[in-house]
Structure formats: structure tokens, C-alpha cells
A and B are shown apart, each in its own frame.
Chain A
Amino acid sequence: MIPLHASIHRKMLVVMLATAAFALLLTAAAMLYYDLRSFRQLWVTDLTAQADIIGFAATPAIEFEDRQAAADYLESLKGKPSIIAAAIYSANGSRFAAYTATGGKAVEFPALPALDGYSVKGNELDLFKRIVSGQEILGTVYIKAQFDMFGRLLKYLGIVGAVMALSLLASLLIARRMQQKVTQPILEIAGVARTVMDKRDFSSRASKTTEDEIGVLVDAFNGMLAEIEHVIDERKRTQSALEDSESRLLELNAELEQRVEARTAQLAAANKDLEGFSYSVSHDLRAPIRAIGGFAVLLGEDHQTELGEEAKRKISIIRSEAARMGQLIDDLLAFSRLGRKALEPSDLDMAEMANNVYVRLDHADPSRTVDFRPGSMPHAWGDRALFEQVWMNLLSNAIKFSAKKKQPVIEIGGISAENEHVYFVRDNGAGFDSRYQAKLFGVFQRLHREEEFPGTGVGLALVHRIVTRHGGRVWADGKPDEGATFHFSLPKEASDGGV
């Protein structure tokens, strides 16, 4: 069998040669058959003629009973080596003369002649031929011949073999030539296919050299390559477009970041300017305020005798208002300093801190009896000084606004939510109208009149600023005369804080 991996070239060669050899063999067999058949026929005819001739020649010998003459005629068969025996029978069936080839084996002659005809036994042929003269049968000639079929066959096979070898050689040469026409385009396609697969080069094409099925195959193959090339090109284009837009996106992103950075820097600069301004303004305001308050004092002291009660009252107003303005400026300064101070965060025990601050505040006014209810609180991550300020402001507010209650209650505590810690300070004091909630945490925003509850309106703004700088939120709820709760939250993760 042809191995599967053999090239199409070899396969075709084998197929063609096998076909040729098969055809040749078939032809040779048919010819051999026909030849052997006609050879035998010819031989039989030849022997029959020989018998006729012997019969004709021997007729006088039979008629004159001359056995010696008949035997002589038979003896002339010596020249035919294939005849191994012969006999002449008389009309009554008795053997008249006989001949046996020299060196041949002993021949058993048939006792009586048979009718005209021949019979074949193995490679021996028995032939009977009547000798007829006029209408009278004079006798019969018998010939036994050896049929040399094997020699003939051998000779014949020799010829056939030689012819076949020559024909196969010729057909090999022809097939070689011819099959190239068929296999060359196929091999070419295969070569192109291999190049395409090895180099991933879909731009190569097989050249079309025939218009037959292989031509169709070449067209189809090239069409497929073109399609693949197109698809790949398309994909490459899409990819490069994608990459383009991606890089454009990155650019835009970088640009955006730059812009954000620039804006942040501008904002920080503006903020700094503003803080610098408020700092220097409040700083420079201190001297005139000190002067106003101070000279009001001097006026009172130096002109005591000249001043009436009303004048003294007005002087005291000037003094207290100057003091209040000074307080405002101090608060404003503290507020502005806060914006510039860098955060120094650490772990804060909020419960302990709030309690300490409360104790400090409470000691400032021993006459008060507040029901203080401290609750547990989660630790926080923040600037210690700033959160002391937060608790200070929230708790002093709670104390201040609950001071007019019969039994002031101040409650503090904290819980841990999902992403943040939430702390609160609750009092049962004056509360506030929730409509003004938005104003609570603004600088200098106040919801109560100065005579009711003194203050500058900076405390909660400070709380708001500190908490937001730590990444947290502040909010409050309350009702007039029922109390207020101030909440602030801090993120659980350490936050660097912003401006």
C-alpha cells in the first residue's frame, strides 16, 4: 500500500503505474489465452493435414497390403519431434503399420480406431483421420502428439515480461511528465498554504495554470486567502482604531488630571491668599480694637468726676463691644490658622478625650448640675489638638444652650457604621429651627440672639472645617426648645485630609 504521508506526486505515480501494469497484465493474459488457443487449433489442423497426407500417400500401400511401404511413410514423421507415435489401421480396424518416435516411451496404441476427431489428455493429443478414396473408407491414420504448451507459454511469458517491463518504463517516463501537469498546481497550492501558515502572510496567492478542477481550487483558495486577509486587515484597523482611541483617552485623562491639578493649585493659591488676607486683616484690626477698648477705660478712669451715669454706661458699652470684636477676631484668626495647619493624625481615644474636655468645661462653672451621660465610642484617626477643639466647641455649645433648662441633660456617644465612625453630642437645650439647619456651620452664622446665648458664630464652622479636613461629615437635627443633636463622622481608613 502507499504510505499515507507519501507525496501526491508519488501517489499519482504509483496509481498510474499500477493502472498501466494492470492493463498490460490483462492484455497479456487475453493475448496469451487467445494465442494458446489458436496455437492449439493450428497445431490440430496441421496434424490433421499431416494425417491426410500420410493417409493419401499410404493409400496404395494399403490397397496392396504393403506394410513395409506404409511403415516407411510413417517413418517420415521423424522430422516432426512433437509426434511421438503414429499408426495406420486398415478398414477392418486392425493395425496395419505403427511408428514410435525414437527415445520415446512405450506407447499403448488404441485397439480400434475411433471416428474422425481428436481428444486431448493432459498435454497429449490423440488424432484420428480416415483414409478415404472415392466413396470407400480404406483405413484410419492415428497420430499421438505431445503438446509442448509449457515451452510455448514460457517463451510467451518471456516476451510478455519484456514488453511489460519496457511498457512500464515507458509509462513511468510518460507518467512522470504528464502527472507534473496535474500535481504541479496542487503542489504549488500546498506550498502557498504552507507559506501562509508558517509566515502568517495572507497576502500570498497561488498562481492559476489550469482551467480544470485544480484551477477552481486555486480560485477558491485565493478567494479564501483574500477574505482572510480582508478580515485580518479589518481587525487590524479596528484594533489600531481602538488603540488610537485608548491612547486618546489616556491623553485626555492626563490632560484632565493636569487641568484638575492646575485648578487645585489655583484653588489652593486662592485659598491661601484668602487666608493670608483674613489673617492680616484680623491681625491689623487688633491694634485699633485694643485702642478703642483701652481708651474707653482711660476715659472712664481719668474723667471719673466729670462723667455722669449715662456717660459711664456708654463707655462700658464701648468697652464690651470692643472686647466682643476682639473675640471675633481671635476666633477668625483661629479659623484661618486651622486652614494652614498641617494635620498630624494619630489614634484617638474619643471617649476619653470627650470626657476630659467635658470635665474641663464643667469645672469652669461649678454652680451647674448637668446630667452628663457619656456613652462608648470607637477610636478615631485624626489630629489630637483639632479634635479636642471639636469636642470643646460641641460640648461648650451643649452646655451653653442647655443652661436655661431646669435639668440639663447632655449625652455623648459614637457608633461604628460600615465605612465610618459616627459621633454625636445631644442636649435638651434651646435647639434650633430645622429650617435654618444650612446656616449652622457657616462662619459668623448665628441662630440665637447675643443676649440669649453669647457667641461669635465661629465654633461650629471650626467643627465643620476640622471634620471635613479629616474626610468626614457634620450634620445636626433639633427642635426649638427641645434640644439639638450634633453628629460628625470620620472615615474608618486613615485619611490625609485636604484643604
Chain B
Amino acid sequence: MEEFDQVEILLVEDNPLDAELTMRGLQNQKLANKITWVKDGEEALDYVFRRGAYADRAEPGPRLILLDLKMPRVGGIEVTRAIKGDERTKRIPIVIMTSSKEESDIIDSYNLGANSYIVKPLDFESLAEVARQAGFYWLAINRAPN
């Protein structure tokens, strides 16, 4: 498996327009070679744990997860709990990107082990900038264990 093909960022976002804008922002910055977008928490967990439709996906897993909180079926909080609660996946950085400014959401996220909590800016430029900074920090600056 070429290192080139590794999925670097897993974007979990139920709103396709937000997803497109976020991916566009990240691509514009030439940060990630490969971004995978999943539409909800269940799909995200299938992807991370190689279940269901993603049972055959190539190793290794994503190096960064951008996670929305308010999603149908399985929400971001549950996804965080599942990934951070599993020995195999708990070292993957999770950056919460959400519209929610609720204090309880922020506290829950950090308590479950989320690495950052970002409130989505309203306009595209700011969103793109925030996504870029988050990706840059976790993928380029931060030193992850091998």
C-alpha cells in the first residue's frame, strides 16, 4: 500500500453543502491528498472499524477525523465515544466542527477525548481557513505516534 493513497482526513458531515465547502477549503490549501466524506455517524464508525460497506477498505485508517455533532441516527458524541473508547482507534485525533455553541456539547466532547472543538464560522472563507488550520496543525505540526 502506497503511503500516497492513505486517507488522511475523514470528514463526517450530514450536510452535503457544508461537506463540499469544507473539502474545497482543505483542497485549496493542498493540505490533504485524500479526504473521505461520510454522511453520518454510523457510516463513520463503519469506515473507521472497517465494517459493512467499508469492510474491505484499505489499511491504514485516517490520520484526522473532522466530526460534526448534530447528525441523524448516530451523532458526533457517540462517534467520539466509540472511537476514543477503542484501543485501536483512540489515538486518531478528532476535531469537532459544529454549529453548536452549547456549553454542554463542548464539555461532553472534551470529556470523551475529543482533541479540538471548533465552532463553524458563518462564511466560507472563514470556514476554509479554520479547516485548513486544524488540518495543518494535526497533520503537519503535531507529532503523532507511529
Contacts and interface: CB of A to CB of B under 8 A. Distances in A.
Contacts of B18: 287, 290-291
Nearest to B21: A294
B22 to A, nearest CB: 9
Contacts of A289: 122
Given A290-B127, A291-B18, A298-B24, A330 B99 contact: no
B120 A290 contact: yes
Given A287-B17, A293-B123, A295-B21, 10 more contacts: A283-B100, A286-B122, A287-B99, A291-B17, A293-B122, A293-B124, A294-B17, A295-B124, A297-B124, A327-B122
A228 to B, nearest CB: 75
B122 A330 contact: yes
Contacts of B124: 290, 293-295, 297-298
B24 A323 contact: no
B89 interface: no
A323 B122 contact: yes
A298 B22 CA distance: 12
Nearest to A333: B101
Interface string B92-108: 00000001110000000
Interface string B29-60: 00000000000000000000000000000000
Interface in B1-43: 15, 17-18, 21, 24
Main secondary structure of the interface of A (DSSP, over half): helix
Contacts of B24: 294, 298
A282 to B, nearest CB: 10
Interface residues of A, number: 19
Most buried by A among B24, B122, B125: B122
A286 B127 CA distance: 12
Contacts of A323: 122-123
A295 B101 CA distance: 24
Given A287-B15, A287-B17, A287-B18, A294 B123 contact: yes
Given A287-B99, A290-B127, A294-B127, A329 B122 contact: yes
A341 to B, nearest CB: 11
Interface of A: 283, 286-287, 289-291, 293-295, 297-298, 319, 322-323, 326-327, 329-330, 333
Given A290-B18, A291-B17, A291-B21, A326 B123 contact: yes
B63 to A, nearest CB: 25
A319 B122 CA distance: 11
The 8 A-B pairs with the shortest beta carbon distances in the complex, nearest first, are A294-B124, A326-B122, A291-B17, A294-B21, A297-B124, A293-B123, A286-B99, A293-B124
Given A287-B99, A290-B127, A295 B122 contact: no
Contacts of A298: 21, 24, 124
A284 to B, nearest CB: 9
Contact of B123 (A283, A287, A290, A333): A290
A298 to B, nearest CB: 6
A322 B99 contact: no
A395 B135 CA distance: 38
23 contacts: A283-B100, A286-B99, A286-B122, A287-B18, A287-B99, A290-B17, A290-B124, A290-B127, A291-B17, A291-B18, A293-B122, A293-B123, A294-B17, A294-B21, A294-B24, A294-B123, A295-B17, A297-B125, A298-B24, A298-B124, A322-B123, A326-B123, A329-B122
Nearest to A291: B17
Interface in B60-113: 99-101
Contacts of A283: 99-100
A122 B137 CA distance: 165
Interface string B104-146: 0000000000000000101111010000000000000000000
A322 to B, nearest CB: 7
Contacts of A286: 99, 120, 122
Most buried by A among B17, B101, B123: B123
Nearest to A283: B99
A390 to B, nearest CB: 21
A329 B120 CA distance: 14
Contacts of A287: 15, 17-18, 99
B28 to A, nearest CB: 8
A322 B127 CA distance: 14
Nearest to A329: B122
Nearest to B22: A294
Nearest to A326: B122
A239 B24 CA distance: 86
Nearest to B121: A290
